[in-house]
Amino acid sequence: MATETPQVTNFLRNIIQEDLQSGKHETIVTRFPPEPNGYLHIGHAKSICLNFGLAKEFGGRCHLRFDDTNPVKEETEYIESIKESVRWLGFDWGRHLYYASDYFEQLYQWAERLILQGKAYVDDLSADEIRELRGTLTEPGKESPYRGRTVEENLGLFRRMRAGEFPDGAKVLRAKIDMASPNMNLRDPVMYRIIHAPHPHVGDAWRIYPMYDYAHGQSDAIEGVTHSVCTLEFEDHKPLYEWFLANLPVPARPRQYEFARLNLSYTVMSKRKLLQLVQDGDVAGWDDPRMPTIMGLRRRGYTPESIRSFCERIGVGRSDSWIDMGILEESVREDLNERAPRAMAVLRPVKLVIENYPEEQVEEFAIANHPQRPELGSRPVPFCRELFIERDDFLEVPVKGFHRMAPGQEVRLRGAYIVKCTGVAKDDAGTVTEIRCSYDPETRSGLPGAERKVKGVIHWVSARHAVTAEVRLYDRLFTVPNPAGDDWKSSINPASVEILRDCRLEPSLARAGAEERFQFERQGYFCTDLRETRPGAPVFNRTVTLRDSWSKGGKGA
């Protein structure tokens, strides 16, 4: 079994522990509130592990709530992929699946209540005008000329907004708080805007939609959320979150806590940028194995365990920091090292002919599936006169320290025999087309006295028995740690995928179904593609190389 990293403490655990000990809460309720405007990414995984993890640890519950307040960008495809991602990561919301849009009627009633109390008004200014009057961090804002409307007038206009009488952008509902507040979020924030667009969850019921800031805290309160955990950029919104709760007859008083979002090097995580990569065709879709989305990581071969242990390892704090992609890669390497069976795969094949091996003979070698885990057993691997080896494992003129195949040099074929290279055949262009060798029958692996040591061991597959398959070598999507600025796309890694169509794999791999993971000896960890693997015709994605090839000088594999 793969082991999880032991839990490191985080400040939210301490807060919750105190709240339970002091009797402030009997049980805790958290929520994960994605906006269904894209697929979830590894940053969301941090939030999911945190929210679902805390609930699980303290015997509470965690809700999955779609924060679906903007129908223009939201889609049913995203809703489905989000549910799938959370489940795949290993979390369960039970019957607690919610949509902010289910609360639209209640939110509307509460908005009318604020109007009746003189705490909200309808404004006819455009978005630009509102922005202009908002002031700056050093200058107070100016009041809108519509701020003084009477309660009756506001109520009438708001109801007409709901009825669809006005075009998009003609009016908004604003909270009447303080245009001079040092906190810009309290300068009469917009609560509702007019959008004539159908909504993926509630259809065409509404012409006005609540803003996130108005919907969020009230949704938390309706659901009885105790600890509303969000990322640090919402710290300045907290007074507004509190203001709404204090001014409305909400059934509960959730509290907001902020933590530092995950920033990961060599990728991008804003959904706007991820969408652009998809739309521009830089990747094959939201679940392209190079994407930092949970579905992309899954196709790449990441396990849920490796992502959870990564999230545990990076901890939860309150200061913004960057995490190196190498740490995520190391998490999956550690997990797969434990669990992935070994196999031999020749990615760039060249033929090896054993001149003194009988033409029709076939032997089977039992090769262990895992060097440290004998309980995983072994598999028979056929061996015959003609094999394939890795083109890279041969050098006609070996450089110093090259202990693999070279003229006159001995090398062990993994789990089989020691062979000695006797010559090569080339085509007219001088490319090696065939390597020839002889084998020493006394060196059969496992035979008494066969332990004669040679310096190199290489992997191989039987030419007659091998399966031909497509293998995709994935690498990081960007060549720089922080692809930022207007030309962030200029640092897309041109070698982020290399597709090899003529790989030769040991025959046992023909049976691999979708999403099976292996270590290809000496190459890395690979996973059969979830979508494109067919019975008898696996397609493999490289999850990660065996060692980090980026840490020194950032060249990649």
Shortest distance, CB of residue 117 to ligand ATP, whole angstroms?
30
Structure tokens at 380: 């028979």
| CA 188 to each of CA 138, 184, 245: distance values in angstroms, whole numbers, following the listed order | 17, 9, 16
Shortest distance, CB of residue 450 to ligand ATP, whole angstroms?
54
Strands (E), 136-241: 172-175, 190-194, 208-210, 227-231
Q: Select from 512, 374, 354 the least CA-distant residue to 440.
A: 354
Exactly one of 13, 261, 436, 489 is catalytic; which is it? 261
Per-residue binding string, ligand ATP, 37-56, x by CB under 6 A, is ------xx-xx---------
Nearer to ligand ATP, 41 or 385 (CB): 41
Shortest distance, CB of residue 88 to ligand ATP, whole angstroms?
16
> Which residues from 178-217 bind ligand ATP, rule CB under 6 A?
none
Instruction: Decide if residue 271 touches ligand ATP (CB under 6 A).
Output: yes
Shortest distance, CB of residue 44 to ligand ATP, whole angstroms?
5
Q: 149 catalytic, yes or no?
A: no
Instruction: Report the alpha-carbon angle 451-455-457, nearest 5.
Output: 80
Binding segment for ligand ATP (CB under 6 A), chosen from 30-38, 57-65, 366-374, 488-496, is 30-38
Q: Are strands 321-323 and 342-343 parallel, antiparallel or unpaired?
A: unpaired
Shortest distance, CB of residue 257 to ligand ATP, whole angstroms?
11
Angstrom distance (rounded) from CA 209 to CA 194:
6
Instruction: Decide if residue 231 touches ligand ATP (CB under 6 A).
Output: yes
Nearer to ligand ATP, 258 or 475 (CB): 258
Among 10, 16, 30, 34, contact with ligand ATP (rule: CB under 6 A): 34
**Strand, helix or coil at 481?**
coil
State CA 513 to chain mean position distance: 22
Among 125, 155, 179, 269, contact with ligand ATP (rule: CB under 6 A): 269
**Strand, helix or coil at 63?**
strand
Binding segment for ligand ATP (CB under 6 A), chosen from 130-138, 158-166, 176-184, 263-271, is 263-271
Among 261, 348, 391, 414, contact with ligand ATP (rule: CB under 6 A): 261
| CA 506 to each of CA 91, 301, 365, 392, 441: distance values in angstroms, whole numbers, following the listed order | 36, 20, 12, 18, 22
Among 186, 245, 248, 262, contact with ligand ATP (rule: CB under 6 A): 262
Burial (CB < 10 A; 0-12, 13-18, 19+), residue 190, is middle
What number of other Cβ atoms are within 10 A of residue 551's Cβ?
Answer: 11
Binding segment for ligand ATP (CB under 6 A), chosen from 101-109, 266-274, 352-360, 401-409, is 266-274
Nearer to ligand ATP, 230 or 381 (CB): 230
> What are 471's strand-pairing partners?
500, 540
Exactly one of 65, 149, 207, 271 is catalytic; which is it? 271
Shortest distance, CB of residue 382 to ligand ATP, whole angstroms?
48
Shortest distance, CB of residue 502 to ligand ATP, whole angstroms?
39
Helices (H), 317-446: 325-339
Exactly one of 13, 35, 112, 273 is catalytic; which is it? 35
Angstrom distance (rounded) from CA 555 to CA 462:
33
Nearer to ligand ATP, 262 or 492 (CB): 262
Q: 261 catalytic, yes or no?
A: yes
Angstrom distance (rounded) from CA 200 to CA 184:
32
Instruction: Decide if residue 270 touches ligand ATP (CB under 6 A).
Output: yes
**Strand, helix or coil at 458?**
strand
φ, ψ of residue 479 in degrees (nearest 5): -95, -10
Are 199 and 206 in contact by the 8 Å Cβ rule? The answer is yes
Nearer to ligand ATP, 77 or 129 (CB): 77
Q: 35 catalytic, yes or no?
A: yes
Give the residues lining the site for ligand ATP (CB under 6 A). 33-35, 43-44, 46-47, 67, 230-231, 261-262, 269-271
Catalytic residue numbers read 35, 261, 271
